[in-house]
Structure 1
Amino acid sequence: MSYLDNVRTFVRVYELGNMSAAARDQHISPAVASSRVAQLEAHLGVRLFERTTRSLSATDQGRLFYEGACRILGSVEAAEAAISEVTTSPRGILHVAASSGLGRRLIAPHVPQFSELYPLIELRLRLSDRRLDFAAEGLDIAFMLGDPEEDGQRIKRIAECPRLLCASPSYIARAGMPGTGADLEKDAHSCLTLRSSGSPECHWNLRTSTGPRRFAVKGRFESDDGDVLTDWALAGHGITLKPAFEVAPYISSGELVVVAEQTPPVPTALFFQQSHRQHPDPKLRLFLDFMTPRLLAAIAPSP
């Protein structure tokens, strides 16, 4: 078993704080993960973790070695990246994440074509509407919709993404057609909100004649999964705020209709976040060059 494999496993155990979770991440058994850490400890002559039946925590030596281990793996990745840049067959694993609707509709359909172009790159796609921890998830890049906290080397905007307020005809027949965001704040309407448990009051940012304004909305239905909100809207349970590309087919078919057209939603940002690495990864650059024009084409407003 290679020393680098042992170091990689140690790093994931340290970051995840759990041997079983690190084993799943590495696609090995917990026994193999434990054996790799034990071999590393024997080689170094120190204990890297304090173990009990219920917990695992890094020792002072473990915390010190983690910093050096990250530098070791970073140097190896840089060397592999340099080699990949001069070869015609880039290889390795690429960990990609995306919000659920974005990933299902705009990224996943193109993965097979990317795989055909670069058969030695193994792409692992993770979909979630929750903000993911890059270190814990071992991600290389994540595509998201929202307001990025920063804009720079790690986080970059791709484009603005139009959004729509929509509901089913059956809901409109029952509750009436809202004309503005002010109508949405009334008890007569049920808004389907995307938020995680414990989040603050939900606001929708809409355009008015005097500029953007935040409207406080509420309803009996909320979820942290955007596709669930679409299903509820189709079933007539309320009004949802969605990226236009997600609901365009339902608008075309008449299953959903646009509402509150006098105060349309402010567009959101489509952006990506990269892992914090000193050296660029050619695999990641290939994927970005492949995916970016497809994303731009998909979210472009209809003529």
Structure 2
Amino acid sequence: MDSLRGIESFVRAVEAGSIAGAARRLGISPAAASQNITRLESQLGVRLLVRTTRSLALTDSGRVYYQRVGLLLHELNAASEAVSELHDEPRGRLCVAATAAFARHVLAPLIPAFNRLYPHISIELMATDRNVDHVRESVDVSIRIQPALEEGLVARHIARVPSIFCAAPEYLAVRGVPKAPEQLQEHDCLVFRFPLDGRFLRWGFVRDGELFYPPVRASTISDDIDTLARMAVAGAGITRLGAFIAAPFIERGELVELFSPVGTGAAVAEIEPLDFYFCVGDRHQLTGKVRAFRDYLLEAVPPDWRAP
């Protein structure tokens, strides 16, 4: 048992980047986590970590050991959960990582009802636009848009969210209203950049069944979509937002929807939607609590977001 405590403290310290971070995840004091690791090192007869007041680094032995026990600890936890769920309702910690905007605007309002349905599940919500590592960061589920999918993940489509191009009335009064996607290159465009690899989220349209990406002039770039929304409201230019972000601004008259078929008779081109996926590291991670959260989301998202 002492060895298992040491292994868990060691693995969580590596994942969190600090012993204090490991202690928070385990619900123990930093001193206890440090003692667990020290006892493990004594039992193994090697040093696993180089610890200073500001940093934590793996030794060569620690790197080899972590590669072996990290996955084993994950499998052990999954096995314990699977057995307990045979006789009880889903329970335990559920770590969900989602894009910052989806976490803030979609998941946050939905989670309280899920908590009432499953009071024994404790959710940790990570709001981040970087791609998380399911194993290293102990993430059970990640919600990703299609461009952020990675090879090896098991992904299920959960939502097709309309994209909306919009700008402030003041901006459009001065610069004019673009009538076709090709006119975007004549405007100030507020563009989202993925923080992980620096790629832009391209502005896609569909015309006559063909997907195309018109050239745009990126006057402002940000890795936070809510920041771009606020800049658009302030009159900085045109931006592309998910419907769950744009709708309140449009309802209040702070932003005007562009390329809408309403009032024009027909759309010049359809706007490429944002597809969101429910991702796990492998099929073994589809535990009872993960399936419960997946099924809840599939029912909770608006009906018009459910792709055929």
Distance 1:34 1:276, change over 3 A: farther
**What is the deviation of 1:3?**
3.6
| Partner Cα distance (1:183, 1:98) in 2 | 33
Matched, 1:268 2:274: yes
Distance 1:110 1:86, change over 3 A: same
| Partner Cα distance (1:150, 1:53) in 2 | 35
Q: 192-201 or 106-115: which moved more?
A: 192-201
| Partner Cα distance (1:85, 1:219) in 2 | 51
Q: 244-253 or 93-102: which moved more?
A: 244-253
**What is the deviation of 1:63?**
3.1
| Partner Cα distance (1:69, 1:8) in 2 | 9
| Residue type of the alignment partner of 2:273 | P
| Residue type of the alignment partner of 1:131 | N
| Partner Cα distance (1:170, 1:101) in 2 | 25
The aligned residue for residue 254 of structure 1 is: 253
* Structure 2: gaps (5+ residues): 261-267
**Contact 2:159–2:306 at 8 Å: present in 1 too?**
no
SS at match of 2:213: strand
Distance 1:38 1:149, change over 3 A: same
**What is the deviation of 1:171?**
1.3
Distance 1:104 1:20, change over 3 A: same
Q: 83-92 or 172-181: which moved more?
A: 83-92
**What is the deviation of 1:92?**
0.9
**Contact 2:153–2:281 at 8 Å: present in 1 too?**
no
TM-score of the pair, normalised by structure 1: 0.85
Superposed counterparts of 1:53-92, under 5 Å: 56-92=56-92
Distance 1:246 1:43, change over 3 A: same
**What is the deviation of 1:127?**
0.8
SS at match of 2:89: coil
| Partner Cα distance (2:209, 2:72) in 1 | 55
SS at match of 2:271: coil
| Partner Cα distance (2:97, 2:271) in 1 | 26
The aligned residue for residue 264 of structure 2 is: none
* Structure 1: gaps (5+ residues): none
Deviation by residue 1:211-236 (Cα, 9 ceiling, x = unmatched) = 22112323332221111111122222
| Partner Cα distance (1:152, 1:41) in 2 | 33
How big is the alpha-carbon RMSD for the aligned residues of Structure 1 and Structure 2? 2.9
Matched, 1:215 2:214: yes
| Partner Cα distance (1:24, 1:213) in 2 | 47
| Residue type of the alignment partner of 2:222 | S
The aligned residue for residue 289 of structure 2 is: 283
The aligned residue for residue 293 of structure 1 is: 299
**What is the deviation of 1:210?**
7.1
**Residues matched between the structures, number:** 299
